[in-house]
Structure 1
């Protein structure tokens, strides 16, 4: 059941060129489509950036930020699409295989299906919001003017949103398995009578699952490391760029100023929330691993009547958890946990103040 839903969901990712099929290898047709999409994206994005910057007066700091945002967006969309059909094909096959194993666990099925349904709702919601915002700006500026400057951007915006949704779902599947293992350990801790043979077998099974999950996390880091680094960088600069734009718009009297601010704020929130959800899921997995380590210590205290050899097994189990502790990184530039969200906000505030000071000095 869960694998059926995941198959359907990955079909959407295949259509958007950000994931391979769930049950089959990357086909030649998908490879060709990916190259066509990337080939079209590059000139369209470059033309949009040139058209926008040549017809708008900005201070140099703003021009640099805007060009960096466009560069990160284009690099992200091209890298993510090409990695699926070129240099990450083997890793994707291993990852989907691991997801199938987790989804095959009857204890996980209902939870995974629930998260897939939520992900579908997010896909539709984000697309609807993008269409509404795009329609609003077209009415404000006219279709020809706005399409010339931002048409390519909206496709890439949706790719970023979709990427965050897919990665969140994959992380949720891994998180569900960690929680399942913690539930198994909690049942053992809660039991009044510890059966030695049963405990040894249980710990062996949990250790095997930990090795499996560590391999899965390593695959996630391998596949999504660079896209994550690009997404987090893009999110930071996009928020900075749009907040400055919102601030400037608020100073200009306009009958539609409230709607303009609402449209920009909506896209900022979509971008920030999507990236923050991914970061939060990574942090939740880390927390589950920490909880598992704590439970292993509790289990050692709970089983005082065991022999020295049996206690050694429990000590080894704690060591296995430490050695296979999950770590998420953005292409090894920095580790990802909930402090990353604060880093994004701190960077935005700092550079926003600098940009406002630049503008004040040019008045």
Structure 2
């Protein structure tokens, strides 16, 4: 089926393929270890002289930081949504059918106090969240503002070079990147805002549930105390205690970007004139 020439050349080809693998593994593992070390060390030494080593180090640090930045966005979003779901579960317990569903008044009071204990645990959980992600949240928001300003500046500068095809593509990439940046931070901020909203809703449900009991009843008094406890343990996600992370933060980012764009447009107009 195969000619003698084909079989011989195929055998030689297989021999060379295996020989390449065997010689490289053998030299790197047993015989040529010092040569490999000398090769790597000399490359590192030359890169330091030509500054390639530091440039490569800066490049990889930059790339790893951007990748880790996306992971932090995703992590904060998931934990915030998990906290929001826990508060939703808590609010489902603040229902007249659930509270009155117990056979005795003592069991109902015990259940209301248990809700207070759950509320305290959630408040402590959010306090831990603030201590862990407070500074990262502040830096993420600051980074978002700076990146939006950079993209906006590039768009306005590149817009003056409309005839350049490369500048058009660069402008489009800046617009896309600014939309991505704004969307990613908006998801994080809104997820944090939802946690505070659900916490405030717990207070509203406590006072609303009081109306279902007589004025001088023990259950009404326990619900009143529960509302005061939840109010005292008001849960707000903050950026290192500098400011609260909510929808106002998002509008603040929009406001800062808009103000800067107006100043930049005025500056460009005065420069052209």
- Return the TM-score normalized by structure 2: 0.71
8 A Cα contact 1:242 1:264, kept in partner: yes
Q: CA RMSD in A?
A: 2.7
Written as runs of structure 1 = structure 2, the 5 A alignment for 1:246-265 is: 246-252=155-161, 253-265=163-175
Of the three residues 204, 222, 238, the one matched with 2:131 is 222
- Classify 1:193/1:170 alpha carbon distance in 2 versus 1 (closer, same or farther; 3 Å): closer
8 A Cα contact 2:206 2:223, kept in partner: yes
Instruction: Look up the match of 1:335.
Output: 244
Shift of 1:247: 2.1
- Classify 1:151/1:269 alpha carbon distance in 2 versus 1 (closer, same or farther; 3 Å): farther
Query: What is the DSSP-based 3-state SS (H/G/I as helix, E as strand, rest coil) of the residue aligned with 1:181?
Result: helix
Q: Deviations over 1:224-283 (max 9, x none)?
A: 111111111110111011111022223212234453333222322222222111111111
- Counterpart Cα distance in 2 of 1:258 and 1:191: 66
- Classify 1:195/1:345 alpha carbon distance in 2 versus 1 (closer, same or farther; 3 Å): farther
- Classify 1:270/1:151 alpha carbon distance in 2 versus 1 (closer, same or farther; 3 Å): farther
- Classify 1:255/1:294 alpha carbon distance in 2 versus 1 (closer, same or farther; 3 Å): same
Written as runs of structure 1 = structure 2, the 5 A alignment for 1:154-303 is: 154-186=63-95, 188=97, 196-252=105-161, 253-303=163-213
Unaligned 5+ residue runs, structure 1? 1-43, 49-146
- Classify 1:251/1:297 alpha carbon distance in 2 versus 1 (closer, same or farther; 3 Å): same
- Classify 1:187/1:173 alpha carbon distance in 2 versus 1 (closer, same or farther; 3 Å): farther
- Classify 1:245/1:152 alpha carbon distance in 2 versus 1 (closer, same or farther; 3 Å): farther
- Counterpart Cα distance in 2 of 1:190 and 1:268: 49
- Classify 1:178/1:294 alpha carbon distance in 2 versus 1 (closer, same or farther; 3 Å): same
Shift of 1:187: 5.9
Written as runs of structure 1 = structure 2, the 5 A alignment for 1:54-203 is: 152-186=61-95, 188=97, 196-203=105-112
Query: What is the DSSP-based 3-state SS (H/G/I as helix, E as strand, rest coil) of the residue aligned with 1:302?
Result: coil
Shift of 1:201: 2.1
Instruction: Look up the match of 2:31.
Output: none
- Classify 1:214/1:267 alpha carbon distance in 2 versus 1 (closer, same or farther; 3 Å): same
- Counterpart Cα distance in 1 of 2:259 and 2:103: 56
Instruction: Look up the match of 2:20.
Output: none
Whose Rg is larger?
2
- Classify 1:294/1:332 alpha carbon distance in 2 versus 1 (closer, same or farther; 3 Å): same
